[in-house]
Amino acid sequence: MSLVVQKFGGTSVADSDRIRAVADHVARSRRAGDDVVVVVSAMGKTTDELVRLAAEVSFTQPTREVDMLLSAGERITMALLCMALADLEVTAQSFTGSQAGIITDNVHTRAKIIEIRAERLLATLASGGVPVVAGFQGVSTDRNITTLGRGGSDTTAVALAATLHADVCEIYTDVSGVYSADPRIVPEARKLARVSYDEMLEIAATGGRVLSLRSVEFARNHHVPLHVRSSFTWEPGTWVDKEDETMEQAVVTAITHDATEAKVTVAGLPDRPGVAARLFRALADRNVSVDMIVQNASLDGTTAISFTVPGFDLAVSTEVSEALIPELGATGVTSDSNVARVSLVGAGMKTHPGVTALTFETLAKEGINIEMISTSTIRISCVVRADCAETAVRVLHTAFDLANPS
């Protein structure tokens, strides 16, 4: 007998038929003898709809109230699923994040879990029941309802799996696993049988939204094996696990893209020590996480620095940079949200020269201009125009022959 955490994303519980199908699956798992803890997302596009409603009634949107509103979506699903389970004679009890003992910090709309007091869930399990937990939410140390950031139900599921020492955390979604690229953009993308935590972290960090970044960090830090699979076909999916000798070390495992990044350029900066330090300290003090940075070669003693930030940080980044123009002696600041970052991820990259060259040649052949580049041992990222991103993903997928097992 195992303890399994099963998380169902928005499309998996989008309507009543889907909720009954999920209830059937949970009932089957119980009959097979497993203990099950369920984590649910809001139905379909409910969270988007709530975000839209908030924007319709308010331009100030106090974040405490935003969290209270958004947490409602998952509450609907958990109650409906418990009712469907009752019809199948499975005893189930729904729990909000707060009732499930998920304690977070006080940062509304992107709270971090700091502790889980799982007594109530354990009591339900001990009595043979199935706890059904609302994903994406918790209660802060100052007793307000918080949410964990978009896609946060994955994090709830993995955090519960770690706390309860579950044997596996199953993430059910609308694709059959983690693919070599988003299968909606590259139809011939290949389903990966296994991916290491490190590769999955890079995939999640660079736009492969099939798992939230925080959930993968949690899984790696607490050694929780993840199984990403489809709630439509229920076939075996992708295992995300510790890297070992049996794992294939493809040179390139996946190609991702992220159109939510934006670029800021500060021009006419004097080329002397301390200028970059001043700029990036000011950005850090406003909690902006800068991703890529490029500094041009100095011309007549002046230079330009471009950097990318998450789209939602663009306004504050531009404001901070503009405020520094007089102090730094810069000539101007431009911002550009029409960019996207395309990334290649692969653990085998570190031992294979030539990946960068083939990447650049492939994009050049397609006439796609590379505006910024950054590399790590297992990733190459290029910033390109946003409207070129999907083409870039497709041509790179073909160039590295990712549709065929290596």
| Residues composing the chain | 406
Out of 73, 101, 131, 151, the only residue in the binding site for Mg ion (CB under 5 A) is: 151
Find the shortest distance in angstroms from Cβ 159 to Mg ion.
15
Find the shortest distance in angstroms from Cβ 171 to Mg ion.
8
Find the shortest distance in angstroms from Cβ 101 to ligand ASP.
19
CA-based nearest residue to 22, from 33, 34, 6, 35: 6
Using the rule CB under 5 A, is 346 a contact of Mg ion?
Answer: no
Using the rule CB under 6 A, is 6 a contact of ligand ASP?
Answer: no
Radius of gyration of the chain (CA): 23
By CB under 6 A, name the binding residues for ligand ADP. Answer: 9-12, 41, 151, 173-175, 178-179, 181-184, 208-210, 254
Find the shortest distance in angstroms from Cβ 274 to ligand ADP.
41
Asked whether 247 and 199 are in contact (CB, 8 A), the reply is no
Out of 6, 11, 29, 47, the only residue in the binding site for ligand ASP (CB under 6 A) is: 47
List the structure tokens of 153: 């139900």
CA distance 338 to 268: 22
In the bound complex, which residue of the shown chain has the CB atom lying closest to ligand ADP? 9
List the structure tokens of 206: 């660079």
Between 99 and 249, name the residue whose CB sits nearer to ligand ASP. Answer: 99
C-alpha separations of 62 from 55, 65, 280, 312, 337 in Å:
11, 6, 28, 16, 25
Using the rule CB under 5 A, is 135 a contact of Mg ion?
Answer: no
Which partner from the list Mg ion, ligand ASP, ligand ADP, none does 174 bind, CB cut-off 5 to 8 Å by kind? ligand ADP
CA-based nearest residue to 185, from 384, 391, 388: 391
Amino acid at 214: R
Antiparallel, parallel or unpaired: β 332-336 and 261-270: antiparallel
Long-range contacts of 374-377 (CB under 8 A, 24+ apart): 374/291, 374/292, 376/202, 377/349, 377/350
CA distance 368 to 189: 21
Element (H, E) at 186: none
Using the rule CB under 5 A, is 207 a contact of Mg ion?
Answer: no
Find the shortest distance in angstroms from Cβ 73 to ligand ASP.
6
Using the rule CB under 6 A, is 138 a contact of ligand ASP?
Answer: no
Find the part of the chain contacting ligand ASP (CB under 6 A) among 95-103, 112-120, 125-133, 151-159.
Answer: 151-159
Out of 112, 150, 191, 209, the only residue in the binding site for ligand ASP (CB under 6 A) is: 150
Site map for ligand ASP, 70-109, x if CB under 6 A? ---x------------------------------------
Binding interface with ligand ASP (CB under 6 A): 9-10, 41-42, 47, 73, 135-136, 150-154
Binding interface with Mg ion (CB under 5 A): 9, 151
